[in-house]
């Protein structure tokens, strides 16, 4: 049965208060689909639906819910029920939820948890938001360095239910230092008596808990890893970052960059659930700043009032030229922001990228000038055509070079290059385009 059919049937059963049907239907949902269904329900409904699931399934579904909804539902749960839920959740997910709880509730819940789980939760919750430690999990499969293949397989069988992934297995020495890794396939294919130390890989890719989480995500993507081990200063294994967590980070970072690219502040939670005031607050600051930035465009027009009054036909081409400058600048900015974000372009590449953009922008400007000069000749004659064509080359080149350089400048200043957004670049290009256009017109027309 499809998700839409299941959702409609479940709502019908809820309206009829058919407990048996509800219990059967919730078991048919995939965990992610049931979480999607609960996202649009009231907290009380979420609690009732989750109560129909076994503890392990409940924890899995709960992990797919948005953090804000998790916190709301957790607030309505009993301390005993919440403690059981936290114990069954993945270590990184329960740490995120734990950090959203009030301090009194945190203390009360910790008292009801087993010592080992309590200490793990405290440690995982201590890492700062945005770091590798905040997204890693302590549920991994590990074997001792001196074990044989048969012994390692036996250990993996016993620990598999609690591990987030068993396809990558970590080899530790007697003080928990990471000395190697091996895959489940290598364990299965080698002889039972073979020592682990003879088949493990010792060339390790690792990261540290206080590193930025986007760096870990980038490493997993670059090297096609199933998981990335996280070690402390003593080389002891403290957790792993799995590829699915890395995908979540990549999606989150891309969303933040897109929002910044539209001069919108980062939204916490869902756009669907954001309040009107939140949406207003996230957008108004940059809009007001850009309004005042456009004063420079108006000042440029006022400065060349005599040129405009003498050749009123110039006004016809003004939107076309400044729009082209803004569009070219936005394209260049988008390319550089993405290049810097993915590591494809480094801050030291500015001179090389500037030279390349100069040549590309020159080609773009000449092509667009050729097209617009024909309109200029029809509307105002040869002189106007020359003004418009020359201005088009100049404004496209200036817009492109400003759009390309601004992300590098912001990165150098320690700001997010994504702030070099399309509206910001377009506003700067507009002001520069107006001044350049009328300056060229004044020079060519002899005014």
User: Cα separation of 236 and 296, whole Å?
Assistant: 58
Q: Are residues 364 and 327 in the same domain?
A: yes
Above 90 in pLDDT, residue 236?
Answer: yes
Total domain count, the chain: 3
Looking at residue 394, what is its pLDDT? 93
Cβ contact 400:360 at 8 Å = yes
pTM: 0.65
- Model confidence at 8, in pLDDT bands (50, 70, 90)? confident
List the single range of 65-69, 152-156, 214-218, 262-266 with lowest mean pLDDT.
262-266
pLDDT band with cut points at 50, 70 and 90 for residue 165: confident
Both 26 and 83 in one domain: the answer is yes
Continuous segment of H or E residues that includes residue 438: helix 422-444
The domain boundary, picked from 63, 97, 128, lies at 128
Strands (DSSP E) found in 17-167:
142-144
Residue 268: per-residue pLDDT: 63
Q: Which of 96-100, 250-254, 380-384 has the lowest mean pLDDT?
A: 250-254
Whether residue 85 is found in the same domain as residue 161 = no
pLDDT of residue 401: 92
Tell me the pLDDT of the chain averaged across its residues: 86
**Residue 270 banded pLDDT, cuts 50, 70, 90:** low
307 with 436, same domain: the answer is yes
pLDDT given at position 432: 86
Residue 178 and residue 204: Cα distance in Å, rounded?
A: 9
Which pLDDT value is given to residue 281?
74
Give the pLDDT band (50/70/90) at residue 305: confident
What local confidence, expressed as pLDDT, does residue 428 receive? Answer: 84
Residue that terminates a domain, selected from 193, 228, 249? 249
Residues 106 and 241 in one domain: no
Q: Say how far apart CA 222 and CA 250 lie, in whole Å.
A: 12
How far, in Å, CA of 108 to CA of 104, rounded? 6
What's the pLDDT score for residue 267?
Answer: 62
Query: Of the given ranges (43-52, 66-75, 255-264), which has the lowest mean pLDDT?
Result: 255-264
Backbone φ/ψ region at 415: left (φ over 0), alpha (ψ -120 to 50), beta: beta
Q: Which CATH number does the domain housing residue 415 bear?
A: 1.10.357.20
Per-residue confidence band for 359, with pLDDT thresholds at 50, 70 and 90: very high
pLDDT at 254: 72
Residues 31 and 76 in one domain: yes
Tell me how far apart the alpha carbons of residues 386 and 391 are, in angstroms, rounded to a whole number.
8
Per-residue pLDDT band at 262 (split at 50, 70, 90): low
Give the closest residue to 75 by CA, choosing from 46, 115, 35. Answer: 46
Contacts of residue 74, Cβ cutoff 8 Å, sequence gap at least 6: 82, 85, 97, 100, 101
Q: Could you please report the per-residue DSSP string of 170-181?
A: EEE-TTSBEEEE
Between 82-86, 294-298, 354-358, the lowest mean confidence (pLDDT) is in 294-298
Task: Name 217's Cβ contacts closer than 8 Å, sequence gap at least 6.
Answer: 241, 246, 247, 249, 250, 253
Residue with the two structure tokens 């048996």: 20
325 and 375 in a common domain: yes
Q: Where are the beta strands (DSSP E) in 130-176?
A: 142-144, 168-172
Lowest mean pLDDT among 42-46, 182-186, 424-428: 424-428
- Please write the tens of the pLDDT for every residue from 370-427: 988 888 888 888 888 899 999 999 999 999 999 899 888 888 887 777 765 667 788 8
Measured distance CA(191)–CA(199) in Å, rounded:
11
Euclidean distance between CA atoms 247 and 160, whole angstroms: 23
27/156 same-domain check:
no
Query: Averaged over 13-33, what is the pLDDT?
Result: 87
Edge-first strand listing for the sheet containing 168-172: 142-144, 168-172, 178-183
CATH number of the domain that residue 107 is part of: 1.25.60.10
What was the pLDDT predicted at 375? 87
Residue 390 lies in domain? 294-444
Same domain, 231 and 323: no
């Amino acid at each position: 049965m499809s998700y839409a059919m299941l959702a409609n049937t479940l709502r019908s059963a809820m309206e009829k208060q058919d407990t048996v049907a509800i219990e059967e239907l919730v078991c048919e949902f995939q965990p992610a689909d049931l979480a999607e269904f609960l996202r649009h329900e009231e907290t009380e409904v979420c609690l009732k639906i989750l109560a129909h699931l076994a503890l392990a399934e409940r924890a899995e579904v709960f992990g797919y819910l948005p953090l804000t909804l998790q916190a709301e539902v957790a607030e309505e749960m009993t301390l005993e029920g919440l403690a059981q839920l936290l114990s069954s959740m993945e270590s990184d997910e329960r740490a995120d939820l734990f950090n959203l709880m009030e301090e009194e509730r945190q203390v009360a819940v910790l008292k009801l948890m087993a010592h080992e789980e309590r200490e793990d939760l405290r440690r995982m919750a201590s890492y700062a938001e945005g770091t590798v430690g905040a997204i890693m999990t302590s549920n991994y499969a590990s074997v001792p360095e001196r074990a044989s293949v048969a012994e390692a397989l036996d250990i993996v069988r016993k620990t598999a239910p609690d591990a987030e992934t068993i396809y990558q297995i970590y080899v530790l020495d007697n003080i928990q230092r990471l000395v190697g890794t091996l895959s489940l396939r290598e364990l299965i294919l080698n002889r039972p008596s073979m020592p682990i130390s003879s088949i493990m890989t010792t060339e390790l890719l690792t990261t540290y808990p206080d590193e930025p989480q986007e760096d870990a995500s980038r490493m997993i993507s670059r090297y096609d890893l199933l998981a990335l081990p996280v070690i402390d200063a003593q080389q002891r294994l403290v957790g792993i970052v799995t590829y699915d967590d890395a995908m979540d980070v990549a999606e989150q970072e891309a969303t933040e960059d897109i929002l910044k690219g539209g001069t919108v502040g980062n939204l916490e939670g869902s756009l669907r659930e954001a309040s009107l005031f939140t949406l207003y607050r996230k957008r108004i600051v940059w809009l007001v700043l850009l309004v005042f930035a456009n004063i420079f465009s108006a000042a440029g027009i006022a400065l060349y009032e005599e040129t405009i009054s003498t050749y009123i036909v110039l006004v016809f081409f003004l939107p076309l030229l400044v729009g082209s400058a803004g569009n070219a600048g936005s394209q260049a900015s988008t390319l550089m922001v993405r290049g810097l974000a993915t590591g494809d372009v480094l801050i030291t590449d500015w001179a090389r990228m500037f030279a390349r953009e100069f040549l590309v922008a020159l080609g773009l400007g000449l092509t667009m000038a050729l097209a617009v000069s024909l309109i200029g000749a029809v509307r105002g004659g040869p002189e106007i055509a020359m003004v418009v064509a020359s201005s088009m080359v100049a404004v496209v080149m200036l817009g492109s070079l400003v759009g390309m350089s601004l992300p590098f400048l912001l990165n150098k200043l320690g700001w997010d290059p994504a702030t070099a957004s399309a509206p910001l670049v377009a506003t700067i290009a507009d002001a520069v385009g107006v001044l350049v256009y009328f300056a060229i017109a004044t020079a060519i027309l002899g005014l």
